[in-house]
Amino acid sequence: MAHSKKAPADFGAPVKFMEADKDSKILKTIYEGSASIYKNEKIYLISRIQKKKALSVTIINGELSDITSSSRCGAGIHAFDQSGASAFISSNTFPQIDFAAMCESLKKLIASSSAYDIKRNKDIFKLEAQVNIIKNEYPHPYEKYDLAGIIEKAKAANKKTQEIDRNRLSVTTNCTVAIDDFIIMRSDGTFSSFQIPRAAVSSSITAKDNGQTVTLGSRLGSSDLSVLFDDAVHSDFMSQSEFYAREALKLCSAPSIEAGKYRVVIDYALAKGLAHEAFGHAAEADLHRGSILWKDQKFIKGERVASPEVNITDGPIFNDYAWQPVGANGNLRSQTEIVKNGLVEKSLCDIFSSREAGVSNENSERIEGFDCPAIPRMTNIRLEYSRPVKTDKRFYDLTPLEVNKMLLENGLIAADCETLLLLGYKGGQVSPVNGDFVFNCSMIYKMNSELRPELYKPAIFAGKTLSALSSIISAIGPVKSDALGTCGKNGQGVPSSGGSNYFLVIDKNENITIG
């Protein structure tokens, strides 16, 4: 699947370019020019070439509403001088770029900033050179399906959801497909080439009843077209959509939950939100300083933040929506154990942040596109509880009543407070400084010993990250890691994904509030 090796040359050129297509000439110019400018002028370059094709199909209430195709192509170059001062330039005219002129502009930019007391970082010179040519085979590759098949499948999904109640439901289904090709080259001879395809299907479901309007959203993704054409994966999407459509109708007349402290049971998508927003971002090394994971001028490695059953890991998962095997600086990305057996272990860092954080480089940087600077960030984050209540059922076969039964049978309904089941992640936000987080869910059920779950409107789930992690007392089911989203750190939107056990049980805590 992946071909990787260390580049043997020291600031040389181990990659030979075949004159096979019109891009090879400019790629060779950049590759050899990058080595040359370092050799002659001690300017180190990281060049990123992106070619992206995307397609979006929109179906509204059974009718094809829009098809939009997009293409994007460009080059971005990050330059460093020997003192560690840097500058960045990008152009979307690739392959027609003037590499020499771009280098001149970069040198001028670096020179113009040298009069100021600026932050310098020379760690790029220590990064190991690699050659990574990554090609994959997928079960449902894009080449195998035509546009008509994609439209037909999206239309069928839309109709089936709306037909639950044509009079009271309006459904927009969107299918997006993107194929991103990246080439990353560095002055040290590094050459990495990889493709990150992705597909996502989502339905926005609006219910109008009783003078009230409620909108819920279902979504699922994959690297290839599994989300449409793999029966098991597509069935997950349909189960999610149909459940949300039915519950949206009920929510139009559901009461609000009283604000307060509860024991909460969250589904794996909300748990992904907790791991991603509340903990993952704080674990990104460029945000360490002043974060909840930074004490006495250092990363809190070894500190206990959760029970020994809790592990949090980030790293690429093949054929997942957010899969990205290579960091944006060109080296293979690691699987990073951020929390191991409840103890803080590693941070998500790149070459620029690892030394200051006092941790090893995990090559965890990503970019939205060729015109963006690279920053440390997650791909597929998983929060795992190692001794969950076991079940053989599919996640979508576990109704609120089934969950209520399992909680009751395993003594997980709280005696001193109400127990709430929160379903459906609608996004969240966190302050890495103090660990304050807020998430919103799609719906809430009050669990009870009479096995009659009561539905309530969604309410904010807010609290302190470390309080939430330390309050995880149990879980139900195996890990499911396909909860997708788009991470918007620093204004760059990149696909993210992850998950947890089917359900996590978080005990009542003074620092966690619902509503």
Partner 1 sequence: MKDKVLETLNDFLGRLCAHKDFTAEDFRLTADYNESLALGQKENELLGPYNMPSISKSLTATLYIRWLDKKISNVNLNYAGIMDFEKEIAGWREKSFIDEWAPAVWREETFDNNDALKYKMYDPEIAGVVEGNAQFLFDAIKLIDSKLKPVSKLITVNAFASINRRFIFLGPSASNPVYDFKFSSAGIAFELDNQYSDSFIKRRMFTFADISALIDKAIKYYPAFSVQLDKKELLSRPAVKNIVLTPSVCESFVNKYILSNLYAKPVVEKQARFSLSDFTSQEKHFRDDISIKFEPDFDEYEINNIPLTYEGVQCAPVYFVKNGRLQTPILDLKYSKKAEMPPTAYLSHDTFQSSEYKIKIETGEYECVNNILEDMSEGFIIFDVLGMHTQDHTGGDFSISAPHAMVIHEGKPAGMVKLSISGNFFEILNHHNTKLLNWYGEGDSMALKCLCS
Distance, CA of 328 to CA of 434 (rounded, Å): 29
Q: Are 509 and 467 in contact (CB under 8 A)?
A: yes
Distance, CA of 354 to CA of 358 (rounded, Å): 6
Contacts to partner 1 from residues 284-303, by CB under 8 A: 286, 289-290
Token pair in block for residue 52: 């992206």
Contacts to partner 1 from residues 483-512, by CB under 8 A: 490
Residue 280 touching partner 1 (CB under 8 A): no
Closest distance to partner 1 from the beta carbon of 50 (Å): 11
Closest distance to partner 1 from the beta carbon of 242 (Å): 18
Site string for partner 1, 90-129 (x = CB under 8 A): xxxxxxx--------x--xx--xx--xxxxxx--x-----
Q: Are 412 and 505 in contact (CB under 8 A)?
A: yes
Count of C-beta atoms within a 10 Å radius of residue 126 = 10
Q: Which amino acid does the sequence have at 25?
A: K
Contacts to partner 1 from residues 292-351, by CB under 8 A: none
Contacts to partner 1 from residues 359-398, by CB under 8 A: 371, 373, 375
Site string for partner 1, 181-220 (x = CB under 8 A): -----------------------x-x-x---xxxx-----
Closest distance to partner 1 from the beta carbon of 489 (Å): 11
The residue (of 29 and 91) whose beta carbon lies closer to partner 1 is: 91
Q: What SS3 class is residue 41?
A: helix
The residue (of 195 and 513) whose beta carbon lies closer to partner 1 is: 513
| Residues paired with 213 in a beta bridge | 208
Closest distance to partner 1 from the beta carbon of 93 (Å): 5
Residue 448 touching partner 1 (CB under 8 A): no
The residue (of 134 and 438) whose beta carbon lies closer to partner 1 is: 438
The residue (of 210 and 235) whose beta carbon lies closer to partner 1 is: 210
Distance, CA of 312 to CA of 385 (rounded, Å): 9
Residue 426 touching partner 1 (CB under 8 A): yes
Count of C-beta atoms within a 10 Å radius of residue 418 = 18
Ramachandran angles phi, psi of 100, nearest 5°:
-65, -40
99 secondary structure, DSSP code: H
Residue 239 touching partner 1 (CB under 8 A): no
Count residues contacting partner 1 (CB under 8 A)?
A: 82
The residue (of 36 and 486) whose beta carbon lies closer to partner 1 is: 486
Residue 432 touching partner 1 (CB under 8 A): yes
Q: Are 327 and 348 in contact (CB under 8 A)?
A: no
CA 342, chain centre distance (Å): 22
Residue 431 touching partner 1 (CB under 8 A): yes
Start-to-end CA distance of the chain, whole Å, equals 47
Which residue among 210, 235, 253, 256 contacts partner 1 (CB under 8 A)?
A: 256
Which residue among 343, 455, 460, 473 contacts partner 1 (CB under 8 A)?
A: 460
Residue 417 touching partner 1 (CB under 8 A): no
Distance, CA of 215 to CA of 169 (rounded, Å): 10
Q: Which amino acid does the sequence have at 176?
A: T
Q: Are 192 and 184 in contact (CB under 8 A)?
A: yes
The residue (of 14 and 515) whose beta carbon lies closer to partner 1 is: 515
Closest distance to partner 1 from the beta carbon of 248 (Å): 10
The residue (of 106 and 220) whose beta carbon lies closer to partner 1 is: 106
Distance, CA of 90 to CA of 113 (rounded, Å): 18
Closest distance to partner 1 from the beta carbon of 179 (Å): 13
Which residue among 74, 197, 400, 477 contacts partner 1 (CB under 8 A)?
A: 74
Dihedral sign, Cα of residue 239, residue 245, residue 250, residue 251 = positive
377 secondary structure, DSSP code: -
